[in-house]
C-alpha cells in the first residue's frame, strides 16, 4: 500500500484553509497550522516566527508546503503597514527559504487585488500594478516566490466565498449578517467588478495542478465575470427573498468612511492558463454560490 504524501499547511484557520482541509484530507497526510487554533485539526504556529516555522516543518517532513494565510482586510492593512508586510511578505520569504531547505514544492495564494483596474479583465500574463498596502504586500510575496523557488504554484483568487458564518469575513457573509439582522434594504456598490471564487473549487483545482505537477502562476477564479451588485442580486434570488428585500445600487463613495482603502474598479480575472492546459475545474459562480448557501447557511436566517 502506497504511503500518503504529506502536506504542511501554514495559515490554515480561515475560510480557504477549511476548504483545503476538506479537499486534501482524504488523500494526503496533513499538518494544519494557524495562529488561531479554531478547529480540532489545527495546531498553533505563527508563521512570522522563522525558527518556529522552520522547526515545525522539519519535524513533519512534508512533501509539499502550502502557505495559505495572510491579512486580507484592506482597511486593517492600510492602518497596520508594518504588521501587514511582516505577515503578507516577510512570512512568505520564510516559507520560500524553508521550501528550498527541504527541496519541496510550495503553494502561495495571491489575489486579483494586485491589479489596478485599468482594464475590464486581466489574464495570467497581465502586469500587476498594486494599489494600497494589502495589494503591494501580496504582490511582493508573489514576486519572491516566483524568483526564488523553481517548483512553485502561485494561484490568484478573486472575491472569495467559503467557510460559512464561522469563517467567512467577506462579502457574502456580510450580506447574510445584514439579512439576519432583519435588514429589508441593502445598499450595494454598482461600480466594483470582479470574479467570485468558491474555496472548494479553488482547493480542487490546486489539487489537480499539484498532482499533474504543472508548476507556475495561475489565475484561479470561478467562471462568469460579474460585479458586487449582480452577486448581491443573485444571493437574494438564491434565498427566495426577492419580494422581501430591496437592493439599492450606490457608488463606492456611499461606503467610503467604512471601506476607505483604495480598490480597483475591476479585478476580474480570466483563467487563460488553466483553460489552455485543459485543467480548469472552476465552475460558474452562480452554481457555486447556490451550493455554498445550501451547504453552509441552512437555517441561518430562521
Percent of the chain scored above 90 by pLDDT? 92
Does residue 252 lie within any of the structural domains?
no
At residue 1, the pLDDT reads 57
Does residue 32 lie within any of the structural domains?
yes
Does residue 290 lie within any of the structural domains?
no
Rounded to two decimals, the pTM is: 0.96
Q: For residue 2, is pLDDT > 60?
A: yes
At residue 196, the pLDDT reads 95
Q: For residue 19, is pLDDT > 80?
A: yes
State the cell numbers at 235: 444571493
Does residue 210 lie within any of the structural domains?
yes
Does residue 29 lie within any of the structural domains?
yes
Per the structure, the complete domain to which residue 127 belongs is given by 6-168+196-225+268-283
CATH number at residue 57: 3.40.50.720
Does residue 182 lie within any of the structural domains?
no
Neighbours of 139 (CB within 10 A): 20
Transcribe the chain into DSSP letters.
-PPPPEEEEES-SSHHHHHHHHHHTTTSEEEEEESS--STTEEE--TT-HHHHHHHHHHH--SEEEE------HHHHHH-HHHHHIIIIIHHHHHHHHHHHHT--EEEEEEGGGS-S-SSEE-TTSPP---HHHHHHHHHHHHHHHHH-SSEEEEEE-EEE-SHHHH--SHHHHHHHHHHTT-SEEEEESS-EE-EEEHHHHHHHHHHHHHHT--EEEE---BS-EEHHHHHHHHHHHTT-TTT-EEEEE-GGGGTTTS-S---SB-EE--HHHHHHT---PPBHHHHHHHHHHHH-TTTT-
Where does the pLDDT of residue 256 fall: very low under 50, low under 70, confident under 90, or very high at 90 and above?
confident
Q: pLDDT, tens digit, for every residue of 158-193? A: 999 999 999 999 999 999 999 999 999 999 999 999
Q: For residue 104, is pLDDT > 70?
A: yes
Q: pLDDT, tens digit, for every residue of 69-94? A: 999 999 999 999 999 999 999 999 99
Phi-psi region of 168 (alpha: psi -120 to 50; beta: other; left: phi over 0): beta
Does residue 294 lie within any of the structural domains?
no
Looking at every residue in the chain, the average pLDDT score rounds to: 95
At residue 258, the pLDDT reads 83
Q: First CA to last CA across the chain, in angstroms?
A: 48
CA–CA–CA angle 224, 230, 234 (5° rounding):
90
Q: pLDDT, tens digit, for every residue of 107-142? A: 999 999 999 999 999 999 999 999 999 999 999 999
Rounded to an integer, what distance in angstroms lies between the CA atom of residue 174 and that of residue 108? 26
The structural domain count of the chain equals 1
Does residue 233 lie within any of the structural domains?
no
Distance of alpha carbon 227 from its chain centroid, rounded? 17
Amino acid at each position: 500500500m502506497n504511503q500518503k504524501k504529506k502536506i504542511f499547511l501554514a495559515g490554515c484557520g480561515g475560510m480557504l484553509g477549511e476548504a483545503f482541509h476538506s479537499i486534501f484530507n482524504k488523500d494526503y497526510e496533513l499538518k494544519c497550522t494557524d495562529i488561531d487554533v479554531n478547529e480540532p485539526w489545527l495546531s498553533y504556529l505563527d508563521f512570522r516566527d522563522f525558527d518556529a516555522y522552520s522547526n515545525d516543518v522539519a519535524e513533519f517532513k512534508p512533501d509539499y508546503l502550502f502557505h495559505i494565510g495572510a491579512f486580507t482586510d484592506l482597511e486593517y492593512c492600510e492602518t497596520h503597514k508594518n504588521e501587514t508586510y511582516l505577515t503578507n511578505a516577510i512570512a512568505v520569504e520564510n516559507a520560500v527559504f524553508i521550501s528550498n531547505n527541504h527541496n519541496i514544492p510550495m503553494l502561495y495564494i495571491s489575489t486579483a487585488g494586485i491589479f489596478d483596474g485599468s482594464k475590464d479583465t486581466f489574464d495570467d500574463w497581465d502586469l500587476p500594478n498594486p494599489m494600497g498596502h494589502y495589494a503591494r504586500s501580496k504582490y511582493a510575496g508573489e514576486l519572491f516566490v516566483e524568483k526564488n523557488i523553481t517548483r512553485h504554484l502561485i494561484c490568484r483568487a478573486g472575491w472569495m466565498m467559503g467557510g460559512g458564518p464561522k469563517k467567512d469575513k467577506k462579502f457574502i457573509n456580510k450580506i447574510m449578517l445584514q439579512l439576519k439582522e432583519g435588514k429589508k434594504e441593502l445598499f450595494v456598490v454598482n461600480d466594483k467588478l470582479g470574479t467570485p471564487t468558491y474555496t472548494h473549487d479553488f482547493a480542487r483545482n490546486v489539487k489537480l495542478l499539484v498532482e499533474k505537477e504543472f508548476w507556475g502562476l495561475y489565475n484561479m477564479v470561478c467562471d462568469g465575470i460579474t460585479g458586487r451588485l449582480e452577486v448581491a442580486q443573485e444571493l437574494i434570488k438564491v434565498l427566495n427573498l426577492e419580494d422581501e428585500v430591496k437592493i439599492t445600487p450606490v457608488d463606492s463613495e456611499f461606503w467610503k468612511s467604512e471601506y476607505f482603502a483604495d480598490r480597483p474598479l475591476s479585478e476580474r480575472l480570466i483563467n487563460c492558463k488553466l483553460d489552455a492546459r485543459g485543467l480548469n475545474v472552476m465552475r460558474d459562480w452562480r452554481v457555486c454560490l447556490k451550493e455554498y448557501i445550501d451547504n453552509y447557511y441552512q437555517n441561518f436566517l430562521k
